[in-house]
Homo-oligomer: A and B are copies of this chain.
Amino acid sequence: MKLGQATIKDIAKALNISSSTVSRALKDYPGISKETKEKVKALAKKLNYRPNAVALSLRKSKSSTIGVIIPEVVHFFFSTVISGIEEVAYANGYNVILLQTNENIAREIAAVDTIISNQVDGLLVSFSKETANFDHFKKLMDYHYPIVFFDRIPNLKDTVNVSVDDQTGAYRAVKHLIEQGYTRIVHLAGPENLKISIDRKEGYIKALKEANIPIREEWIIPCPKGTPDESETICKALLSDPSNRPDAVFASNDIAAAGAMQAAKSLGLKLPEDFGAVGFSDWQFSSMIAPPLSSVSQPGFKMGEKAAQLLLEMIDSESEEAFRSRTEMLETGLVIRESSLRKG
């Protein structure tokens, strides 16, 4: 280790404590023992530690602004989350800036740099479908910078998260299809690197197993783009063989479910008699399509409120407790409409 180039990580490693403890010890935060503070400061001095540009920038004066990094603002679910965030933020005198990544890792990294250079007090993050490496967030968290992850939860230690119970939501949706007499149910799955996709798939599998319906791997179909065209093309192929035809779809989002319904209609199938559909997210348009689409509703507004509350606690208190690693889990609902409601 060269003198003058020591980082917080080097100090943490040498003393076998976490980076955030080192960071807080250097800043004399409460909740760190006097002994630890002295050890950290002594080593920092010995190693000629200098806070780097990131740390200096993050330590600038309070801007009363929080940043939200989000894949797509047009997504109805995210827009309700944003509304919940703004509600709490404005009530507490904070402004909100939004940074859209378009599911692109390069833009996400650029967004974090924008946050660093713009003196934003804290960050709410739902990362992109492409994000497999979290170093751009870790470099902030190493400096005890307040971050709350929502909806899409990283597989990292020491994060504060707000999520919905996707697995139970998916399980209930598929159970409902089975109760309506559907037995040949396909799952249009989301991007594999997202925990929400895995949870939804597991809920689907759980409901089928419980009803003793065999799981067919070829009927768990990835729709990573989540566009109506993608699922329409996939489902047209799938539904074209009458001898081996699914009778329902559970899709990981409403757009994919709508595409599946278009495919079924174009092949002359009757909805919901011949083919049933349930989506996920309960988009604004879902009640307006023909037939109106059943969907798992997510408490987006509540998620935004909860995430903002946790973030403001981290910003205001700086206490150990506010930064304690945990996941707040919110419940989903099931909105049953005509697309899955057989009358007979």
A interface list, Cβ under 8 A from B: 63, 65, 67, 72-74, 76, 79, 82-83, 86, 90, 95-100, 102, 107, 110-111, 113-114, 117-120, 228, 258, 262, 283-285, 288-290
Known: A97-B98, A118-B119. 4 other contacts (CB 8 A): A82-B100, A262-B288, A285-B288, A285-B289
Bound form: Cα–Cα A76–B285 in Å: 12
CB contacts (< 8 Å) of A74 on chain B: these are 73-74, 76, 79, 82, 284
Chain A interface main SS type = mixed
> Please, which residue of chain B has its CB at the minimum distance from the CB of A74?
B79
Inter-chain contact A65/B98, CB cutoff 8 Å: no
User: A117 touching B63 by the CB < 8 A rule?
Assistant: yes
Tell me the smallest distance from the CB of A265 to a CB of chain B, in Å: 10
* Chain B residues with CB under 8 A of A79: 72-74
Q: Are A97 and B95 in contact (CB under 8 A)?
A: no
In the assembled complex, the Cα of A44 lies from the Cα of B220 at a distance in Å of 73
Structural contact, B98 and A98, CB atoms closer than 8 A:
yes
Could you tell me the distance between the alpha carbons of A79 and B76 in the complex, rounded to whole angstroms?
A: 11
| Cβ-neighbour of A95 out of B63, B114, B258 (below 8 A) | B114
Contact B98 A100 (CB under 8 A): yes
A102 to chain B, nearest CB (A): 7
Cross-chain contact A95 with B119 (CB below 8 angstroms): no
A56 to nearest B CB, angstroms?
15
In the bound complex, CA of A318 to CA of B86 (Å): 35
Write the nearest CB–CB distance from A94 to chain B, whole angstroms: 9
Closest B-chain residue to A285, C-beta based?
B285
* A80 to chain B: closest residue by CB: B74
Q: 17 A-B Cβ contacts within 8 A? A: A63-B117, A65-B117, A73-B74, A73-B98, A74-B74, A74-B82, A82-B100, A95-B99, A96-B99, A97-B97, A97-B98, A97-B114, A118-B118, A262-B288, A283-B285, A285-B289, A289-B290
